[in-house]
Structure 1
Amino acid sequence: MKITVLAGGVGGARFLLGARQYLRDAGADPAADLTAIVNTADDLWLAGLRVTPDLDSILYALAGVNDTARGWGRAGDTEVVNTELAAWGAAWPWFTLGDLDIAASLARTAWLRDGLPLAEVVTRLAARWDVGARLLPATGDEAETIVHLAAPADDGRTELHFQEWWVRYRAALPAASFEVRGAADARPADGVLDAIATADVVLLAPSNPVVSIGSILEIPGIRDALGRTTARVVGVSPIIGGAVVRGMADACLTAIGVATSADAVARRYGSRTDGGLLDGWLVDTVDAGVVDALTADGIPTRAVPLWMTDPATTAQLVADAVDLAN
């Protein structure tokens, strides 16, 4: 069974660990059967380096070298170079890159400067480990999320790069809207549209629906490909009991006028029969009360445990999603 997952960041990484385990338990080869289309709208240039936070988080998690305590970066990393860059004023002091992170970014930047597309760069980086999945950037073009603020920041700015809003300000500055700047001229990375078209099932990981999954959908051609694929598209709610599982997705949802609830996010994605994305939706058992209404609205929904405590538990979640798709 070929599974394609749209994913971002840490939540996407945990979900992909479960998807890989699900395929291994089924006797399949996840390296051949699991493809992740990863958000690239968080990417940025910093100190002359191209940094790809979501791709790196997922790569490190699948490789088993991620820092599970911090939730980002490489385990056992040091910050000598980052500290020196900050002393020179050449990097954001609130955006920490470990030395191993910087090494990966140096390699990535060198290959990009040599003319390699980002998809090939990701393949080269992943080849170092047995990650058990194919990782694809949503796009190799520069299309980055810009946050338009509801009121100017203390320094008078009315817009921020997503990373500054998210990491420096912890989403505390109310946002008016989000723009994936450059998306209109971006193209899906090589392999993305084919991975959607040839999948047996497409899963939307429980990643941020606005600035992770939503940003992937901003790349021209991807939303249309999801509408055309013969695969069923099943999403997993990132909201449990009216609260975000991780991060500050509630601030993003509030900015676009969507309630922080499992059913509101499902309706934001929409039923595929009505021109939306979803053939199915999984909510947590605490949200079982929304199942009937969503199903009546054309989004077949089931309530199952959603907490991704370990790969085995998450593999069951993936099994539930595949079962709903079938």
Structure 2
Amino acid sequence: MEPLRVVVLAGGVGGARFVRGLRAHLRSLDGPSADVTVVANTGDDVWLAGLRVTPDLDSLLYTLAGVNDETRGWGRAEETERVAGELAAFGVGWPWFTLGDLDLGTCVARTSMLRDGLPLSAAVQRLAARWPIGVRLLPATDDEVETHVLTDEGELHFEEWWVRTRAALPARAFVQPGVEAARPAPGVVEAIRDADVVLLAPSNPVVSIGTILTIPGIREALAATPAPVVGLSPVIGGSVVRGMADACLTAIGVATDAGAIAQHYGPRSAGGVLDGWLVDEVDAAALPALAAAGIRAGAVPLWMTDDMATAAMAAAALRLAREPR
């Protein structure tokens, strides 16, 4: 029997925790091991102090490797910040964007590989080879396509808007300069095309999953794949699970509501990207409207309180994917 081929589109911390739960669920099954490919958002990437920083890729890498800081939710465990302190003393970088020494070590290694001519996808594979993470980790694109935020005070890199202003400065729009010329990283389209199921992690639908979908060729691959595409809501009871995704949703005119986000993604039968959608039990009232719109939906607990709860979420998503379309 062939292994189950699963593709996950994911952002940072929430996406990383979901993939870890998915991995736990798949490892608990009898039969052949699954083949999991994770396509990560690269819109948060930035050049900082001469280093290429890739926040979402690194959150996925550290979480799956078991070396992440569970308390902060990002970065490496048992960090020190001596290098960041030195950089700040020299007036280099962003003083409000602090990376730990171990995290900076990853950035130095990645930047060295990029300077040597490796594409980002190849650099990610070399970095991931250090740990048995159990999945194939791919950037959405090898091209530098960063997410910027248009505000009344000018255009900011997404990380500046997110970290420095804490999304308090109203966003007018999100743009990805140069995205028209970008291409999916090697293996991304092929993985989606050959998948048995595609999952949209409960990540930010605007600047994580949404940014992945702006890369030319990825949305088209989702439309063409014979695999069912199932997403999980990052909103429970009208509140975001993590971060400030509500500010992003407001900027594009979408309510902070599990059903509204599914309608924003849209059903594949009408040019969208979803076949199925999971909401939390408190949002079960959204199910009839989603069914009427052509999206199969279910209601299950979606709080990622631990790996067991997250594994149950992943199992529910896979069950929904198996339902007849």
User: Mapping of 1:85-104 within 5 angstroms?
Assistant: 85-104=87-106
Task: Calculate the TM-score normalised by the size of structure 1.
Answer: 0.96
Task: Calculate the TM-score normalised by the size of structure 2.
Answer: 0.97
User: Mapping of 1:26-105 within 5 angstroms?
Assistant: 26-27=29-30, 33-105=35-107
Q: What CA distance in whole angstroms lies between the structure 1 residues aligned with 2:119 and 2:23? A: 26
Q: What CA distance in whole angstroms lies between the structure 1 residues aligned with 2:175 and 2:13? A: 22
Q: What CA distance in whole angstroms lies between the structure 2 residues aligned with 1:296 and 1:18? A: 30
1:173-214 Cα deviation digits (max 9, x unpaired): 000000011211111001100110111000000000000000
SS at match of 2:176: strand
Point out 4+ residue stretches in structure 1 off by more than 3 angstroms: 27-30
- Name which of 276, 281, 300 aligns with 2:277: 281
SS at match of 2:147: strand
1:189 is matched with 185
Q: What CA distance in whole angstroms lies between the structure 1 residues aligned with 2:228 and 2:176? A: 27
Instruction: Specify the code of the residue in structure 2 equivalent to 1:237.
Output: S
SS at match of 2:175: strand
Q: What CA distance in whole angstroms lies between the structure 2 residues aligned with 1:324 and 1:229? A: 17
Q: What CA distance in whole angstroms lies between the structure 1 residues aligned with 2:30 and 2:303? A: 24
Unaligned runs of 5+ in 1: 153-157
Q: Is the 8 A contact 1:41 1:212 kept in 2?
A: yes
Instruction: Specify the code of the residue in structure 2 equivalent to 1:247.
Output: G
1:110 is matched with 112
Instruction: Specify the code of the residue in structure 2 equivalent to 1:215.
Output: T
Instruction: Specify the code of the residue in structure 2 equivalent to 1:138.
Output: A
Q: What CA distance in whole angstroms lies between the structure 1 residues aligned with 2:289 and 2:301? A: 19
1:135 is matched with 137
Whether 2:291 is the aligned partner of 1:295: answer yes
Q: What CA distance in whole angstroms lies between the structure 2 residues aligned with 1:245 and 1:28? A: 33
Q: What CA distance in whole angstroms lies between the structure 2 residues aligned with 1:74 and 1:16? A: 18
Unaligned runs of 5+ in 2: none
Instruction: Specify the code of the residue in structure 2 equivalent to 1:166.
Output: W
Q: What CA distance in whole angstroms lies between the structure 2 residues aligned with 1:75 and 1:289? A: 40
1:155 is matched with none
Whether 2:234 is the aligned partner of 1:244: answer no
Shift of 1:29: 6.4
1:248-291 Cα deviation digits (max 9, x unpaired): 00000000000000011000000010110000000000000010
Whether 2:271 is the aligned partner of 1:268: answer no
Instruction: Specify the code of the residue in structure 2 equivalent to 1:23.
Output: L
Q: What CA distance in whole angstroms lies between the structure 2 residues aligned with 1:277 and 1:82? A: 41
Shift of 1:22: 1.4
Instruction: Specify the code of the residue in structure 1 equivalent to 2:306.
Output: D
- Name which of 10, 23, 28 aligns with 1:25: 28
Q: Is the 8 A contact 1:19 1:34 kept in 2?
A: no
1:144 is matched with 146
Distance of aligned partners of 1:16 and 1:29 in 2 relative to their CA distance in 1, 3 Å threshold: farther
2:205 is matched with 209
Q: Is the 8 A contact 1:240 1:287 kept in 2?
A: yes
- Name which of 5, 9, 13 aligns with 1:6: 9
Shift of 1:27: 3.6
SS at match of 1:181: coil
Shift of 1:28: 5.7
User: Mapping of 1:154-193 within 5 angstroms?
Assistant: 158-193=154-189
Identity value in percent: 66
- Name which of 302, 308, 311 aligns with 1:312: 308
Q: CA RMSD in A?
A: 0.9
Instruction: Specify the code of the residue in structure 1 equivalent to 2:52.
Output: R
SS at match of 2:172: strand
Q: What CA distance in whole angstroms lies between the structure 2 residues aligned with 1:105 and 1:51? A: 6
Q: What CA distance in whole angstroms lies between the structure 1 residues aligned with 2:216 and 2:205? A: 17
Instruction: Specify the code of the residue in structure 2 equivalent to 1:322.
Output: L
